[in-house]
Amino acid sequence: MNYTDDARNMLERYLWEVEKLLPLMKRRDLIREMTSNLLDMLESRSSSEEITKEQMTEFLQEHGSPRQIARAYHRPEPLISQEFFPLFKLILTITTAVLGGLFLFRLLISIFQGEGTAILPLVGELFSGLTSLLGALVITFYLLQRFIPSWKIADDEPWDAASLEPLEHRKPPKRIESILSILLSAVFILILTLFRHRLTFCIDPSGLCLRVPVLGPGFLALIPLIVIRLAAGMVHSLILAVKARWSEPLRIGELALTFTDIGIIILLLQGPPDKFFRFDLMEELEQFASVAPILRWVYTGILLLILVLTSLEVISSIRQMISRPANRLPV
């Protein structure tokens, strides 16, 4: 049995809407079984070779609204009821984002002020803040649903399957982009492992070219971590190029890689720039003396810019993971 893209995306949207309302602990397994059963039902009642969007709409309309389907899997007295859960999730997302933003802001200030060692207490504060926030919200909602008459799901709740927007998946990068990324990472790994001694500049005080390494001891100490990150990125790109579609593990892998990037950038900001790049040696040269202080600022500025952009990327990836699941249908 074939499905048009619209029909498949619509079914995925429907399943995603149901999944969001299922009990958290077993939702993956439930949705897997539900998918299998739905496809069985769909295929047993269709005589055509291909399921169209219209047929899918009609089927989902008869099947029932995601809220009604999910309701049957909830225990009568959950800590936060299904009716309240979407609101709970929305408030939790907003407050977590605000808390995360404040954390990032304080982190940037701490880095600007050169208080590298103050990062750990900040992470501790963030953890404690998130825990308190979650606890306070759970208690508030628990009390709310006990004292406010809950908004029940009626058996004849209006449901319009045609209003479901087909789920658009994030497209994987083109194969050529993945291959280029793999090649680029390989080149960087080679440079950082075999040819790092060639990354030098020439100090020429008396007509003799004296080669001085560009990389400082701080950077050299980070090379193993950077190489592992690049190698992991190569594996990730390779799997993505072969599979040609995003899956949950690949998305989690991408997120882990981005977190590693953030970690490396933060480490590169720990301490004076001369520790990582030999701007101090450069400053000793007459022709570079005026440029070296600017390069120090450029170094810090670029890293901070990358840190902000990478953090935004993390937020966007998490948002996408929450709002758009990876392809799950076995069709």
Partner 1 sequence: MNQDEQMLLDRLVQELKRGNLTVAVMSRLTEEEHYGYSLLQELSVRGLDINQDTLYPMLRRLEEQNLLESRWDVDSSRPRRYYRLSSSGKEIFQALVDAWLSMEDIIRSMIR
CA distances from 32 to 7, 11, 13, 35, 206 (A): 18, 13, 14, 5, 74
CB of residue 62 to partner 1, shortest distance in Å? 11
**What is the C-alpha to C-alpha distance for residues 106 and 290, in angstroms, rounded to an integer?**
32
128 binds partner 1 (CB under 8 A): no
CA distances from 328 to 41, 76, 198, 236 (A): 18, 29, 48, 19
330 binds partner 1 (CB under 8 A): yes
Give me the residue label for tokens 């008396």: 206
Structure tokens at 328: 């799950």
CB of residue 24 to partner 1, shortest distance in Å? 15
Q: Which residue's CB is nearer to partner 1, number 30 or number 267?
A: 30
Q: Which residue's CB is nearer to partner 1, number 72 or number 242?
A: 72
CB of residue 38 to partner 1, shortest distance in Å? 9
Q: Which residue's CB is nearer to partner 1, number 36 or number 193?
A: 36
Q: Are 304 and 111 in contact (CB under 8 A)?
A: yes
Q: Which residue's CB is nearer to partner 1, number 39 or number 266?
A: 39
Q: Are 219 and 268 in contact (CB under 8 A)?
A: yes
- Which range touches partner 1 (CB under 8 A), out of 29-37, 129-137, 172-180, 292-300? 29-37
159 binds partner 1 (CB under 8 A): no
Please, what is the angle between helix 27-45 and helix 5-21, to 10°?
A: 140
CB of residue 63 to partner 1, shortest distance in Å? 8
**What is the C-alpha to C-alpha distance for residues 68 and 34, in angstroms, rounded to an integer?**
14
Number of residues that bind partner 1 (CB under 8 A): 17
248 binds partner 1 (CB under 8 A): no
39 binds partner 1 (CB under 8 A): yes
32 binds partner 1 (CB under 8 A): yes
Q: Which residue's CB is nearer to partner 1, number 65 or number 237?
A: 65
**What is the C-alpha to C-alpha distance for residues 238 and 312, in angstroms, rounded to an integer?**
25
Interaction with partner 1 in 48-107: which residues (CB under 8 A)? 64, 68-69, 72-73
Please, what is the angle between helix 248-268 and helix 291-323, to 10°?
A: 160
Q: Are 63 and 15 in contact (CB under 8 A)?
A: no
Q: Which residue from 37, 140, 150, 316 is in contact with partner 1, where contact means CB under 8 A?
A: 37
- Reference 10, options 59, 56, 50, 69; nearest CA is 56
Q: Which residue's CB is nearer to partner 1, number 40 or number 284?
A: 40
- Give the phi and the psi of residue 285 in degrees, each rounded to 5: -85, 135
Is 202 buried (19+), middle (13-18) or exposed (0-12) by CB count in 10 A? exposed
Structure tokens at 107: 């982190």
CB of residue 252 to partner 1, shortest distance in Å? 21
Q: Which residue from 2, 5, 28, 33 is in contact with partner 1, where contact means CB under 8 A?
A: 33
36 binds partner 1 (CB under 8 A): yes
Q: Which residue's CB is nearer to partner 1, number 40 or number 248?
A: 40
Q: Which residue's CB is nearer to partner 1, number 73 or number 142?
A: 73
154 binds partner 1 (CB under 8 A): no
Q: Which residue's CB is nearer to partner 1, number 67 or number 324?
A: 67
CA-based torsion, 135, 141, 144, 146: positive or negative: negative
Number of H helices, E strands in the chain: 11, 4
Q: Which residue from 18, 34, 104, 167 is in contact with partner 1, where contact means CB under 8 A?
A: 34
Instruction: Kindly list the residues in this chain that would bind partner 1 in the complex (CB under 8 A).
Output: 30, 32-34, 36-37, 39-41, 44, 64, 68-69, 72-73, 330-331
